Amino acid sequence: VRVPPPKKKMVGGKLVPFAPTLGIARGFQRRLCIEVRGEDDSIPDEKVNSAWKLPTSKTLTAKQQQDQQEKLKLLLPKPPSDQLPHTLEDFESEDYVLIRMLRPRRTRGLRKDKDVQDKTALGKDDHADEGDVMEDAGHEDSPSAENNAVVTAMEEEGFIENRKFDMDGFIERENPNLIPVHQKTTIEVTIGRVPNLEVYDVHFAHEDEMKEALSTLRRLRYLQKERAKKRLHEFRQQNKKPKQSFLTTSVMSSSRAQAELASEVTDSIGEVDEAIPALLIEIVSALNLPVADLTSSDPYVEVWLGRTKLHRTSTIMNTLDPVYTMSQGSLFLFSPTAIQFFEATHGLIFKVKDYDAVSVGGVVGADDDLGQVALSQRTLLNLKGQRIEYDLEQMSEKKMKMSVSYVNRPRLVLRVRRATEQDIAFVKTMKKIQNMMGSNKKFGVYAKEAYLSPSHGLGTELPLKRQSKKVKETGETLHRVKPFPDPDRPEETKWMTKEKIEEEHLKPSTKWVETGSGGAGRLYLEVLRCDGLPNMDAGMGLGKTDTFCAIIFEDAIVNTNVIYDELSPRWMPWSQRAFCFHIEHPSSQVHLGVFDYDKLNKNDPIGRISIDTSNLNANMEYTMAFTIYSSVLDDIRPPVGTVTVRLRLDLQSFRNEVLATVKSLAPEEYINVTTKGRFDTARFVTSGEENLNNLDMDAIQSYANELQGYVEVLYYLERSIKTLLLWRGHFPIEYQGETYQLPLHSMIAFTMGVLLVENFERFPAFFLFSIAWFMLATNEERNRNPDPWHQCASFSQMALSLILDGPKAKRDMRINDDLRERIKSYEATKEKAKQRQLRRIEMTKRAMRGDITDYVGEEDSDNEQVKVETDTGGFQMNVLKPVLLPIQKGLGHACVYLRVTKSVIVWDEPVYAFVITLLSILGGFQALFLPWTFIVRNSLRVAVWAFLGPWMKLVDIHLVQQFESEDDDNYVIQVLQWMQHHSRLLLFRDRTLMTYKESVLKTRAMKRYMFGKFIVRVPQFKEFRYTDVPLSELSTAVPYSRDAPPVVISDHKHGQRLTGDMVPHWGDDDDDGLKTAKARAGQGALRRVNPLEIFHREGASIVEPDDDIANAVGKTRNAVSKGTKPIEDVLNVVNPLRFLDKMKKNRNKDKDQ
């Protein structure tokens, strides 16, 4: 055929005439190929891999040449048949039509103007068109890139492939506007898709060829349509008895639905076209894209069904490995009708393009094609949401040579699965918000479901003027109850005396807020009171501090009521003060901050604390008072008041805590909030004023002082060495009524030393034993403190709890006069030793300077340290920021690492410390029986005989020299063979890194969309300089009484931990009603939930907790049928048939269930 330049192009959504360059209107020679391809044309990966394993010697024997030819034959597809299918039986289910246009092969000496003109006919060689179809090297329906090269080489001599199209991108018709001479040999073709349509005239040499081409194309289109009808018929037959569709809110009668789905396929206009199950599709990422611009590309992805564009992602600038998040259009819902779905030639086509604001020639929007992936209908319906990498098929040979290698081939990563009700609702909400805002930058859509804001009481936000009154009859002074009176007793609790308020606020809370996403247990926390707070509103004429507390635990953030004009606020049992957190990891901390509420500006921070729960026992009710400090860095921290909380842990057993710690570290959580004010509040709660990203001279000085303060370790080291070497007693034992101090450490050191020098083979075992010995010594030193709030469980107690699978041993936390004196004595001795060590260090420094005489006789100072002031009247030394900020970050990270290490060593992290000690003991016993001398000697013997012998010369001759030789004809083959051997390792590494990158970016974008764009990191370990310890005099611990009033959940706020792919789940939200039932039951782990009890408590009182599932279902049916229980009351809670049956299937091995 001969093909002139396009006579029409689409500009601005309309086809407009295009004037060709003078002299080329006659067109250029092309060859038109119409082919049918299918699954047999693709090359399995194992065949490609085997063909790459070529011999490495310089010369090939006859047998090797024959084997190589046999392997290369595996790369060749079956010879194309000259006979195209004529019937539907010949047109297989996965066959597809490909129309290829070939151009003459250029030879040397071709005129330059001819070369330029040839590019204008039917597109440029190096740029793919909108309608071009490129087979996917990794796709089941299309041949690979290697196959393309083989097929191109098999064309007639002198022609190479120029462009290729599918049936949707190549629409032909006889041209009625031509003069009669050419009308019988010319057809008009429209190629591409909107908005890049082009119209060409194709001139055939003979009328018979033109008729044959039209007949072939029309026959293949007819066969495709018939095959689509067949698929549609099969789909309807498989869905004759459908359940209620989740794509519509109306309920279709079963008889009508079955009649429609059982109808035969016809071409009538009035036929009912049912929808296929909706598909949720996620464009995850792309890998190793070709360079379309100077050094990179600006990729985006379009999704096409036939000639209809369904979806387009946002453009990510300057990257070859883009990751598409939900804010960039990665998610979309695909719910076509069955006819539309099955009539499409290739199912869905994903086109990866490079955005060009102005392309070559000044045409706006003519973006470059980087490749595409085609997924058939069968593939789309069978995918289950797994992450799959598809090789991109590229049109441009030049770009393919620049980017495609055996290891780093361009890929597109997709996820596809059938959409659930939650998926459809989530995507519809997302689209609605995007359409309302006009962009994807709407954040915090679900923030109200995950954030409990500070409440102001019963509808009022203004402090009341009258705070107290005096009763004339009794002379008592009554005070207004804050934040508001009890709604159940408004008159009785509106005014109370101070004594009555103190008594009332200690009563159990009546309303609890449940939050969090963990499943290891529950933490019950009540904020009771604050005392001695500073007046943050002094001098402003606004009264006193308006106090509220913000609490962050793992992935949950909550706030108490605001109490106006109080420096010693009391939160009443009916107020917003009680919270039930679901625990994910036993080492998590509670972060609590006290603030002065300010509606117009940001809240003023007063102070913060971190509550360590890892040393607390389950089923104990702790009332703990903490000193509040405004700083976490200052060397001298003046207190700003106290806060008292009541806390209780509901954990299963200490064995579960150990298993959770061994399984994984504490999760690194992030809290998202919607406003800058909430962000400042949350950041102060989790980190105080510490911020490594902002230059702060005070912080640098504080880090330096903290590092210098670790010289305190020298005191303990000196004392330990003296105790060890001088056989000083430290372990108390009682004998005949008297207490003796046994030098246990000295005895252990002497025994280990004697055994080690006699048999050095025991060194590995003794090394592990030494680690355990050191950890046990630190545990002993910690428990030497007589204050029970500073102690932790001993190793023996933890080991017993682990063996018996019970809770940790309970400790006596009561403080008597004798213990109070011992605590004071211990603290005084410790402080005196610390000061003595500091004086020794200072004397050493002065001695090195030669002025020790100035120090002798000098009186002790009051240890007041001068804080370096850096306030320069608003002037900041930003000039030094590039130098000082890295120093600050380095010091800060060093301090954090030391703090975390110290917390494990001194048993502030008791579970981590116990696991390290236990593993060291077990490993030591195991290493004690291994023949280390035999292992080391024979390992060295094998290494010497294997790598130092004269036979290494043979290795050099046959392997190393051959690989290093540049003149070797097989050098390239050897390199490719090496790449083949290492390709799987490289692919695994790249896939692992890319998967982690995708998870981080997608989770961050999803949380920004759902909860807010401001992100706060929650400390993963104990990362603060100071440890907050309860005040012994004001803290108590009593066993929790099972007769206590039940916990009544009045509100539920979701945690911010997201699980699952594509559309996230909050916890185990995988069924309707399951999340509501689990949350309102207050159960973190599903195996602990009694669904019948939940159903009973939620209001469907027809079901008793002791009923089995069959009885529950029967009672529910009878109640609904008799009208004694409205159907809405049942279905609004859970669907009992689905919920209970699902729980039974999933937990049928659980006896409790």
DSSP string, 891-932: HHHHHHHHHHHHHHHTTSSHHHHHHHHHHHHHHHHHHHTS-H
Q: Are residues 383 and 474 in the same domain?
A: no
Poorest-pLDDT segment among 168-177, 317-326, 746-755, 1090-1099: 1090-1099
> What's the mean pLDDT when you consider all of the chain?
75
**Among 217, 238, 259, residue at a domain's last position:** 238
pLDDT higher than 90, residue 529: yes
Q: Which residues of 228-242 are buried (b: 16+ CB within 10 A; e: fewer)?
A: bbebbeebbeebeeb
Q: Are residues 848 and 817 in the same domain?
A: yes
pLDDT higher than 80, residue 133: no
Assigned domain for 987 exists:
no
Q: Which of 286, 324, 536, 514 is nearest to 413 (CA)?
A: 286
Q: Tell me the pLDDT band of 868, cut-offs 50, 70 and 90.
A: very low
CATH code of 625's domain: 2.60.40.150
**Among 442, 458, 478, residue at a domain's last position:** 442
Q: Is residue 299 classed exposed, middle or buried when 0-12, 13-18 and 19+ CB atoms within 10 A define those classes?
A: buried
Q: Are residues 497 and 606 in the same domain?
A: yes
Cα distance between residue 327 and residue 1009, in whole Å: 8
Poorest-pLDDT segment among 101-110, 531-540, 574-583, 684-693: 101-110
Cα dihedral 1026/1032/1034/1038 (nearest 10): 110
Amino acid at 402: M
Q: Are residues 206 and 354 in the same domain?
A: no
Assigned domain for 231 exists:
yes
DSSP state of 439: S
pLDDT higher than 80, residue 1118: no
Look-up of token digits 């109370």? 496
Q: Are residues 122 and 50 in the same domain?
A: yes
Q: Are residues 687 and 752 in the same domain?
A: no
pLDDT higher than 60, residue 746: yes
Q: Which of 531-545, 637-651, 686-700, 736-750 is predicted most confidently?
A: 637-651
DSSP state of 393: B
> Alpha-carbon Rg of the chain, whole angstroms?
39
Whole-number pLDDT of residue 665: 83
Is the peptide bond preceding residue 483 cis, with omega within 30 degrees of 0?
yes
Assigned domain for 450 exists:
no
Poorest-pLDDT segment among 109-118, 293-302, 939-948: 109-118
> pLDDT, tens digit, for every residue of 87-118?
666 666 667 788 888 888 776 544 444 443 34
Query: What domain range includes position 393?
Result: 272-442
Q: Are 334 and 377 in contact (CB under 8 A)?
A: no
Name the token pair of 491: 């008159």
Assigned domain for 1008 exists:
no
Q: Are residues 198 and 324 in the same domain?
A: no
Q: Tell me the pLDDT band of 640, cut-offs 50, 70 and 90.
A: very high
Assigned domain for 457 exists:
no
Assigned domain for 951 exists:
no
DSSP state letters, 725-769: HTT---EEEEETTEEEEE-HHHHHHHHHHHHHHH-GGGHHHHHHH
Q: Tell me the pLDDT band of 823, cut-offs 50, 70 and 90.
A: confident
Cα distance between residue 821 and residue 826, in whole Å: 9
pLDDT higher than 60, residue 156: no
Q: How many of the other CB atoms lie within 10 Å of CB of 73?
A: 10
Assigned domain for 976 exists:
no
Name the token pair of 574: 């009916």
Per-residue CA distances from 1020 to 87, 553, 884, 902, 1017 (Å): 66, 11, 26, 15, 9
Stretch 814-843: mean pLDDT, rounded?
A: 79
pLDDT higher than 60, residue 180: no
Cα distance between residue 525 and residue 400, in whole Å: 62
Q: Are residues 298 and 424 in the same domain?
A: yes
757 against 112, higher pLDDT: 757
The values of phi and psi at residue 79, to 5°, are -60, 130
Assigned domain for 589 exists:
yes
**Among 928, 943, 963, residue at a domain's last position:** 928
Name the token pair of 1022: 């104990």
Cα distance between residue 615 and residue 647, in whole Å: 13
Q: Which of 575, 672, 558 is nearest to 1010 (CA)?
A: 672
Q: Are residues 597 and 737 in the same domain?
A: no
Q: Is residue 1006 classed exposed, middle or buried when 0-12, 13-18 and 19+ CB atoms within 10 A define those classes?
A: buried
Angle between helices 763-783 and 795-804 (to 10 degrees): 100
Q: Which of 628, 700, 1103, 1003 is nearest to 868 (CA)?
A: 700
pLDDT higher than 90, residue 594: yes
**pTM exceeds 0.85 for this model:** no
921 against 1078, higher pLDDT: 921
Cα distance between residue 1028 and residue 609, in whole Å: 6
Q: Which residues of 866-875 are buried (b: 16+ CB within 10 A; e: fewer)?
A: eeeeeeeeee
Q: Are residues 386 and 472 in the same domain?
A: no
Q: Are residues 402 and 351 in the same domain?
A: yes
pLDDT higher than 50, residue 145: no
pLDDT higher than 60, residue 730: yes
Q: Are residues 688 and 742 in the same domain?
A: no
Considering its fold, how many domains does the chain have in total? 5
Cα distance between residue 1138 and residue 243, in whole Å: 14
